[in-house]
Structures are given as C-alpha cells and as structure tokens.
C-alpha cells in the first residue's frame, strides 16, 4: 500500500509496486516481515522520487526516477547505488544499500537503502536544534569538511577508477548542459542563452580530478540529531562521477543563501539565518581543507547557475506533463530567468 505524504494523488502504487517490492526486500534482508510494506512519498526529491518504506521490520528508503520521458543520462539509479556501495568503507558517510534493480522487477530502475536517522534541513531548522552559540557555523563547516573528505578519496582505492571520464570533464559539462537546455526549453530565454554561450567561451583547465557528488548541499545530507556539527549521511548521488571537484563547491555556494537575498522556489535555504557563515567563509574553509586555490571560482559559480537553471526548466516541464507524482512547485519560468541572471552577475564580478 502506498500513502501520500506530499500531496501526490493517485498512481503511486504503480510507481512503487509494493506487491513486488515487498517480497524482494524480504529476500534481500532475510526478514519475511518486509513482504508486507507501506510506502509514503517523502517531501523533496524533485528529480528522482523518494519513498519511505515501512513494515513491522522497520523503515527503509526507496528511490526511483519520475514517470514519463526522461533526459538522457539523468535519473541513473544504478549509478547512485554503485557509488554508495563503493564509499561505504570510506570516511564519507553514506547509507547502506539493501537492494538495487535495473527495472526488471517493477518496470523502472530503483534502489532501496537504509534509513539514516537525523535531520534533513530544508526550509526550516527544527525547534531547539542548532540554536546554541556557534552551532550553525559548526553545521556549515561540517558540511564543507564532508565535501572535502569526498574529494580526498582516491577513486581507484574504492573501485571507482572507471566511474567517469575526468579528462575534458568541464568542457563536456558545458556541452551537456547546453544540450539539456535545448531539449528542455519551451521558448528562448535570453539570460540562459547568454550564460550558456559565455561559459562555453571561458572553460578553465581543471586543477585536479576527484569523485564528484554533483548536487552537494545541506538538504542532501542527514545531520546528526544531537550534534549539528556531524554529518550522518550524504544522499542523492544521481549526478556523481569523476571530474573537477570545484563544480561541487560551486553548487554548494549556489545553494548557500545569504541574509537579504531572495530565496529559490525549488531549493529554500536556511543559511540566510543568523549564525551561518557567508559564502566567502565556505569557500575559504574548503580551500584550506582541500589544499587548493580558487582563482577560477566565478566560472564554476556561473556554470552552477546555468546547470540549476536547466534543471529547474526540466522540472517545470515534468510538472506540466504530470510526471512528478502530483507534486506542484508553482510557475517556475521566472525562477529559470532569475537563476541565469544571477549566474551572469557572478561571471561579471570575476
């Protein structure tokens, strides 16, 4: 049985197939109580869909793509499961994978992982949490340190040496996201077109290669329920690969709202609240932890804005097509334009 925790409407039984999933989880865990499970659509998950699975045996989490036509290379469940399995023994905290399937079982690829307890912080901080002196800065720096720890992992040492093609990574990223824009757009949007053109003309040489998360931000992590300065798990690895790690830093900075800045409809942030350090301190902390310099950071930030404008456009298209399990985000056209305009300002400031 599937219930709706996020206004999802009908059709969720077809998305999860609990009649097939339950016995498969029971077999994978060796616990027959999983044969009868319920699934609830969780908030968030604006690209892939995330469900909380529950039974007498406890709770797990399932991820699968949205329904409908998908962009090439997006929503790769096998990729998510592989990188989390590989990073299990590393210093990077990730949930344990219980089961993964390429689509043979339910008609769509998915994976099931353990549920890590803690706080996933999106648009508000839980009452009484991270309200002590310095605790919000501790949370911020724990997040940055987790990112630097990921970028210090030797891909070969965890079996990920063939996980991507780091040579030419940045140029391919620019081409890929320009192509994704052409596939997703419903009309020409001048700031997006200009931003895509300008970053294509100014691709720098990468300093180094590393495992790249691809969407690293506060609400893609589980923070310890008692210690805001501890990251319990890093989630949502669908865009992970081998490439330039500064793309991860730039995305984190994109999501890092400062006081007085207008928020984003799809990615509300708490970092504009008192106690959180500004983007400049986040960048400085990363540079120290990773042992790098950041001379080309404006380009990376501009690329991050371009990617997020394209992703927002893709979500808008899927919402209009009814392929997001009934989730609604309002009119996103203005947000696409605003993100691109901010990216142009970052590029000009450099």
The verdict on 263 and 158 lying in the same domain is: yes
Q: What's the rounded mean pLDDT across residues 88-114?
A: 95
Widest pairwise Cα distance in the chain: 59
Token couple for 162: 């063939």
| Within a domain: 311 | yes
The verdict on 177 and 100 lying in the same domain is: no
pLDDT of residue 53: 97
**Tokens 């990363």 found at:** 286
Number of helices and strands in the chain (H, E)? 10, 10
| CA pair distance 44, 266, nearest whole angstrom | 9
**Tokens 């294509």 found at:** 200
The verdict on 244 and 321 lying in the same domain is: yes
Q: Which of 62, 84, 114 is the last residue of a domain?
A: 114
The verdict on 61 and 151 lying in the same domain is: no
Q: What is the pLDDT of residues 26-43, one digit of tens each?
A: 999 999 999 999 999 985
Selection from 288, 278, 290 nearest residue 248 by Cα: 290
The verdict on 192 and 107 lying in the same domain is: no
Token couple for 307: 């990617």
Q: Which of 114, 146, 172 is the last residue of a domain?
A: 114
- Asked if the model's pLDDT at residue 9 lies above 70, the reply is no
Token couple for 3: 């219930």
- Asked if the model's pLDDT at residue 5 lies above 50, the reply is no
| Within a domain: 130 | no
Q: What is the pLDDT of residues 169-180, one digit of tens each?
A: 999 999 999 999
| Within a domain: 163 | yes
| CA pair distance 3, 11, nearest whole angstrom | 10
The verdict on 28 and 67 lying in the same domain is: yes
Q: Which of 62, 79, 114 is the last residue of a domain?
A: 114
Compute CA distances 61 → 1, 8, 51, 181, 238, whole Å.
15, 17, 6, 31, 15
Strand ranges across the sheet with 49-55? 2-3, 38-41, 49-55, 58-64, 110-114, 97-101
pLDDT of residue 71: 45
| Within a domain: 81 | yes
pLDDT of residue 12: 74
Q: Which CATH number do you get for residue 51? A: 3.30.200.20
The verdict on 152 and 197 lying in the same domain is: yes
Q: What's the rounded mean pLDDT across residues 90-99?
A: 97
- Asked if the model's pLDDT at residue 328 lies above 80, the reply is no
Helix (H) or strand (E) segment spanning residue 110: strand 110-114
Q: What angle do CA 141, 142, 148 make, to 5 degrees?
A: 85
The verdict on 190 and 286 lying in the same domain is: yes
Domain ranges, residue 151: 135-349
Q: What is the pLDDT of residues 240-276, one digit of tens each?
A: 999 999 999 999 999 999 998 888 877 889 999 999 9
- Residues contacting 203, CB < 8 A, separation 6+: 170, 171, 174, 299
Structurally, how many domains does the chain consist of? Answer: 2
| Within a domain: 216 | yes
**Tokens 């508000």 found at:** 124
| Within a domain: 87 | yes
| Within a domain: 122 | no
The verdict on 330 and 294 lying in the same domain is: yes
The verdict on 54 and 164 lying in the same domain is: no
Q: Which CATH number do you get for residue 202? A: 3.90.1200.10
The verdict on 259 and 171 lying in the same domain is: yes
The verdict on 41 and 176 lying in the same domain is: no
Torsion-angle region of 214 (φ positive above 0: left; ψ -120 to 50: alpha; else: beta) = left
Compute CA distances 240 → 53, 75, 126, 136, whole Å.
24, 11, 29, 27
Selection from 94, 91, 207, 206 nearest residue 149 by Cα: 91
| Within a domain: 8 | yes
Looking at residue 309, the DSSP 8-state letter turns out to be: H
Token couple for 315: 């979500």
């Amino acid at each position: 049985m599937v219930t709706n925790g996020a206004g999802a409407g009908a059709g969720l039984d077809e998305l999860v197939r609990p009649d097939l999933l339950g016995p498969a989880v029971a077999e994978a865990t060796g616990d027959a109580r999983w044969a009868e499970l319920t699934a609830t659509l969780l908030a968030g998950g604006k690209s892939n869909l995330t469900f909380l699975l529950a039974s007498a045996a406890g709770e797990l989490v399932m991820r699968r793509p949205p329904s409908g036509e998908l962009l090439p290379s997006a929503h790769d469940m096998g990729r998510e499961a592989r990188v989390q399995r590989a990073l299990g023994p590393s210093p990077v905290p990730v949930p344990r994978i219980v089961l993964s399937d390429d689509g043979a079982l339910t008609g769509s690829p998915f994976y099931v992982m353990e549920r890590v307890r803690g706080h996933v912080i999106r648009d508000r901080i839980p009452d009484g949490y991270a309200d002590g002196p310095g605790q919000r800065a501790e949370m911020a720096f724990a997040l940055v340190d987790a990112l630097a720890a990921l970028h210090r992992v030797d891909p070969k040492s965890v079996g990920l040496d063939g996980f991507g093609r780091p040579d030419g990574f940045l140029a391919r990223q620019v081409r890929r996201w320009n192509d994704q824009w052409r596939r997703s757009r419903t009309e020409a949007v001048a700031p997006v077109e200009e931003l895509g053109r300008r970053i294509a003309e100014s691709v720098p040489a990468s300093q180094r290669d590393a495992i790249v998360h691809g969407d690293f931000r506060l609400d893609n992590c589980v923070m310890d329920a008692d210690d805001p300065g501890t990251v319990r798990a890093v989630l949502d690895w669908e865009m992970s690969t081998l490439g330039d790690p500064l793309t991860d830093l730039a995305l984190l900075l994109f999501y890092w709202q400062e006081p007085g800045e207008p928020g984003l409809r799809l990615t509300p942030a708490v970092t504009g609240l008192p106690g959180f350090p500004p983007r400049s301190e986040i960048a400085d902390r990363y540079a120290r932890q990773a042992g790098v310099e950041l001379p080309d950071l404006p380009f990376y930030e501009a690329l991050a804005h371009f990617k997020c404008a394209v992703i927002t456009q893709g979500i808008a298209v899927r919402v209009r097509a009814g392929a997001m399990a009934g989730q609604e985000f309002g009119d996103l056209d203005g947000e696409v334009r605003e993100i691109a305009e901010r990216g142009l300002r970052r590029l000009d400031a450099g």
